[in-house]
């Protein structure tokens, strides 16, 4: 079915201090999409973020971001009292994402949950214990990791005292004994985050809105996953990297991009029949209807750089068992169709395309990349082969369409106007119409482009660490009814929902 969708991360939702949440505004957002006939909501990874606010560099490949927990919903569900809300920090600018304030609020909510837990009815506590048992693959180590991180001043795990860094049994037993309350706080946070997210997901499904998630290919070096399952990653016993991830030098960077995350020890993943990967994918697919695999090309071959290098220049391509992994997922998921999108941007080889196509995974097309003057440019809609694509005006890593248009030379603008057969007056909407008219099965637009915002609303600038992830919708959901209605009407003209 031909669909249209909007890209908006939950942190950018309005109405709460510091950070958007999974509460009333999120439910109103889902209803607004459904009311205007928009069939898909795309978001970024729901995982906890790194210190810059990036959800693509997370201390956990399984956990949800505590900053998204909604306080009012906890009161409505009977887990907290109204009086508990008065203990939450609120000072801040509700129009921008504030990681420090979001962290303080999450800590205060965790304290309140722990304080109120003894008063909860037995049925609720039984639900908690059943949930805890189902999460045994990842939850205990995640909680230990987060508590140890806090105890050691947020230092990376390889800088902790050796007994903890090496997970010695006596040290972990002591942690369980001496910091039981802190560990339970982490459990309660993750339990309620999952309950709130599943409520929101159920709301979206009941209204016919497909939820599209996002999964980073690599996990952070300083993560519960690497600390607890070091053998699966290119990490020495002392925490140093033997190999690290990145991409090679290209037109945009003479030294390539060095990401600093460990690469996978694929032989050990194969021996376990990809058990860690399968559990990771299965958990992510519990949260969404369709999942974008970031850096898909590394499933065919990954650029592996020596662990001590400071640039990506001397790396080598190493084959990955992507086909075996996808085949395993296909066998467990059932049916031929995998609910995945391949993020296949950049320089993609025929082997990567063959892997994508052999599992019939939709790839991505970005219209901002289409107008270089090459008539064979693969991002031009007339060059789409087949309809198995997701087409975007831009993504979270792009400038907004107005920012993009303002950055173009006169020659580049002329090429865009020639293709559109007229002057460009609303870049986001004109690229959106091009996307909706294309043969791609799904057309997605960032909310910033619907609102005709400039680069003050840009979500991320790759290669930078300051000022990213902070944009939020400043008004209530009702204030964007017009743009959503316009998208819905335009989508229907092109046979989309």
Instruction: Provide the residue ranges of all domains of the chain, joining segments of one domain with +.
Output: 3-66+210-493
Closest CA to 172 of 184, 164, 162: 164
Mean pLDDT for 170-187 is 98
What distance in Å separates the CA atoms of residue 216 and residue 296, rounded to the nearest whole number?
9
What is the pairing mode between strands 301-306 and 363-366? unpaired
Closest CA to 33 of 271, 178, 221, 205: 205
| pTM (predicted TM-score) | 0.96
Q: Kindly tell me the burial class for residue 315, based on how many C-beta atoms sit within 10 Å of its own C-beta (0-12, 13-18, 19 or more).
A: buried
pLDDT digits (tens, 9 = 90+) for 443-481: 999 999 999 999 999 999 987 888 899 999 988 999 999
Contact (CB, 8 A) for 258 and 311: yes
Residue 460 CB contacts under 8 Å (≥ 6 apart), including other chains: 54, 396, 397, 468, 469
Mean pLDDT for 269-287 is 97
Mean pLDDT for 158-168 is 98
pLDDT bucket at 92, cuts 50 / 70 / 90 = low
pLDDT bucket at 485, cuts 50 / 70 / 90 = very high
Contact (CB, 8 A) for 179 and 96: no
Q: Residue 282: its pLDDT value, please?
A: 96
Which active-site residues does the annotation give?
A: 294, 343, 397
Closest CA to 186 of 117, 239, 262: 117
Mean pLDDT for 397-411 is 97
pLDDT bucket at 80, cuts 50 / 70 / 90 = very high
Residue 93 has pLDDT above 80, yes or no: no
Q: Residue 466: its pLDDT value, please?
A: 86
Q: Residue 44: its pLDDT value, please?
A: 98
Residue 406 has pLDDT above 70, yes or no: yes
Residue 334 has pLDDT above 80, yes or no: no
What distance in Å separates the CA atoms of residue 184 and residue 179, rounded to the nearest whole number?
9
pLDDT digits (tens, 9 = 90+) for 194-223: 999 999 999 999 999 999 999 999 999 999
Residue 270 has pLDDT above 90, yes or no: yes
What distance in Å separates the CA atoms of residue 92 and residue 197, rounded to the nearest whole number?
25
Radius of gyration of the chain (CA): 23
Q: 2-11, 64-73, 243-252, 255-264 — which is least confidently predicted?
A: 243-252
Mean pLDDT for 233-244 is 96
Whole-number mean pLDDT of the chain?
Answer: 96
Alpha carbon of 285 to those of 51, 357, 482: distances in Å? 26, 21, 32
Domain 3-66+210-493, CATH:
3.20.20.80
Q: Residue 95: its pLDDT value, please?
A: 75
Residue 430 has pLDDT above 70, yes or no: yes
């Amino acid at each position: 079915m031909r669909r249209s969708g909007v890209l908006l991360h939950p942190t950018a939702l309005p109405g709460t201090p510091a950070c958007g949440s999974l509460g009333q505004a999120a439910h109103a957002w889902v209803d607004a999409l459904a009311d205007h006939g928009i069939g898909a909501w795309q978001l970024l990874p729901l995982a906890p973020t790194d210190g810059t606010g990036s959800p693509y560099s997370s201390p956990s490949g399984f956990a949800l971001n505590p900053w998204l927990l909604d306080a009012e919903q906890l009161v409505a569900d009977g887990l907290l009292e109204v009086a508990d809300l008065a203990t939450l920090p609120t000072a801040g600018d509700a129009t921008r994402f504030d990681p420090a304030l979001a962290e303080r609020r999450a800590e205060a909510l965790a304290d309140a949950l722990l304080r109120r837990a003894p008063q909860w009815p037995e049925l609720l506590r039984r639900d908690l214990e059943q949930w805890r048992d189902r999460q045994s693959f990842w939850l205990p180590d995640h909680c230990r990791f987060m508590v140890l991180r806090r105890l050691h001043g947020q230092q990376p795990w390889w800088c902790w005292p050796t007994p903890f860094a090496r997970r010695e049994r006596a040290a972990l037993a002591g942690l369980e004994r001496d910091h039981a309350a802190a560990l339970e706080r982490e459990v309660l946070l993750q339990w309620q985050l999952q309950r709130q997210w599943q409520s929101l997901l159920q709301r979206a499904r009941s209204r016919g809105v497909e939820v599209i998630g996002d999964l980073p290919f690599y996990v952070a070096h300083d993560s519960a996953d690497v600390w607890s399952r070091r053998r699966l990653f290119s990490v020495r016993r002392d925490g140093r990297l033997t190999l690290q991830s990145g991409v090679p030098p290209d037109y945009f960077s003479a030294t390539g991009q060095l990401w600093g995350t460990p690469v996978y020890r694929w032989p050990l993943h194969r021996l376990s029949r990809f058990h860690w990967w399968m559990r990771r994918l299965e958990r992510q697919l519990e949260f969404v209807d369709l999942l974008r695999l970031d850096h898909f090309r590394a499933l065919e071959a990954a650029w592996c750089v020596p662990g001590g290098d400071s640039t990506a220049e001397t790396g080598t391509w190493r084959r990955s068992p992507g086909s075996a992994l996808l085949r395993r997922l296909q066998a467990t998921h059932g049916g031929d169709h995998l609910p995945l999108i391949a993020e296949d941007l950049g320089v993609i080889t025929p082997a990567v395309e063959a892997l994508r196509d052999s599992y019939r995974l939709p790839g991505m097309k970005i219209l901002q990349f289409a107008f270089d003057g090459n008539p064979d440019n693969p991002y031009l809609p007339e060059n789409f082969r087949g309809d198995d694509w997701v087409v975007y005006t831009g993504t979270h890593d792009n400038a907004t369409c107005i920012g993009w248009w303002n950055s173009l030379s006169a020659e580049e603008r002329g090429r865009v106007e020639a293709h559109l057969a007229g002057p460009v007056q609303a870049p986001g909407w004109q690229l959106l119409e091009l996307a909706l008219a294309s043969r791609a099965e799904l057309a997605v637009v960032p909310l910033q482009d619907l609102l005709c915002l400039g680069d003050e609303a840009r979500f991320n600038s790759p290669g930078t660490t300051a000022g990213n992830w902070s944009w939020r919708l400043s008004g209530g959901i009702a204030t964007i009814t017009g743009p959503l209605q316009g998208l819905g009407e335009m989508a229907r003209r092109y046979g989309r929902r």
